[in-house]
Amino acid sequence: MATATVHTSAKYKKKILWFWQSNSTNIHDEKEKQQQWKRYSDFENDHIEEAYQRKEKKVPLNDYVINFEYRMQQHKNGNQMAIKREEIDFSQCVREERFLYPVRATSAKSFEKEYDKSDFISQWRRKEHKKTEFDNEHGPNNENRATAELAAQEEGRLINKEFDAQRMAEQLRSCKHDKEIGQCVARLYSASSFLSELVNSTLRNDDMSKLDTLGPFCWLLDHRLGWNEGGWDCHVYRGMTLTDEMIEEYKQAIGQNIIWPAFTSTTLNRQVAEFYCANTLFIIDIQAGQFWRR
């Protein structure tokens, strides 16, 4: 994930976050309680912080200029918004939107007796006619990495997120080996940007119109997340809001493999999952060396 951090001690980290005021064009508005602040994406945040550390007075960003002297974001059309910089404890950095995604867990494919990839990823593999597992020496990862790089740029262009897309492409381009590629796609997916929401929306809806662009990225990420390489057992947690009917379907599926159609965020912190849990808490046991998926 493209972020800037300040290490205050060996055991304590703070993360630098930049925000822009979304509900006012008056940069001198002192009514903090009425102000609404939005975070820049991780890639924008990194770009701004790098310029700030270089002690630059201004830095361009998309259609804006970030003015550090006056702490404002200036648009080329004349609009301007206040900005602010904060240091936040890593433990407070929770991707709230990741735990608020609706998860379709009641479709027939959610309760398969045998594991298979999502329809979207499986369809892409059939179309490409390539082997489905990594080959550490001669695998297709570099080719898929290049395709994912171009796809990120294209998808970013379609939704006016060229800056984030370009930073993603640069990071993918710097990867040469399987392990680097796997780690990179995981970081890009984990970053606060348009990509994770787009990927999961595509997978949940089996949007085959995105097959050529998002297919390679989804496949690379699927394989990267498929193994617990940490060498230790753990529990992860996910809170959800389920109807009585959904809960009953899960009860009926006891003993079967449960497959969620999209990449579903979990946390090692049970309290975090419970905070976003309306009526259902999933406790997922992951064993060292175990093969698992979404």
pLDDT of residue 67: 95
The number of folded domains in the chain is: 2
pLDDT of residue 288: 64
In this structure, the answer to whether residues 130 and 215 fall within a common structural domain is: yes
pTM tops 0.85, yes or no: no
In a domain, 108, yes or no: no
In this structure, the answer to whether residues 219 and 142 fall within a common structural domain is: yes
In a domain, 281, yes or no: no
pLDDT of residue 95: 58
pLDDT of residue 48: 94
In this structure, the answer to whether residues 67 and 160 fall within a common structural domain is: no
In this structure, the answer to whether residues 132 and 197 fall within a common structural domain is: yes
Among 197, 224, 251, identify where a domain stops: 224
241-266 residue pLDDT tens:
888 888 888 888 888 777 787 888 88
In a domain, 275, yes or no: no
Q: Which residues of the chain have pLDDT under 50?
A: 1-12, 27, 102, 104-109, 113-115, 131-140, 294
In Å, the largest CA–CA distance within the chain is 61
In a domain, 268, yes or no: no
Alpha-carbon Rg for the chain, nearest whole angstrom, is 21
In this structure, the answer to whether residues 147 and 183 fall within a common structural domain is: yes
Phi and psi, residue 58, nearest 5°? -145, 155
In a domain, 75, yes or no: yes
pLDDT of residue 98: 54
| Dist. CA 153–CA 163, nearest whole Å | 9
In this structure, the answer to whether residues 19 and 88 fall within a common structural domain is: yes
In a domain, 192, yes or no: yes
CATH number for the domain harbouring residue 9: 3.30.720.50
| Dist. CA 277–CA 275, nearest whole Å | 6
In this structure, the answer to whether residues 18 and 81 fall within a common structural domain is: yes
pLDDT of residue 245: 84
In a domain, 105, yes or no: no
pLDDT of residue 149: 86
In a domain, 103, yes or no: no
Range of the domain at 71: 5-92
In this structure, the answer to whether residues 127 and 217 fall within a common structural domain is: yes
In this structure, the answer to whether residues 78 and 165 fall within a common structural domain is: no
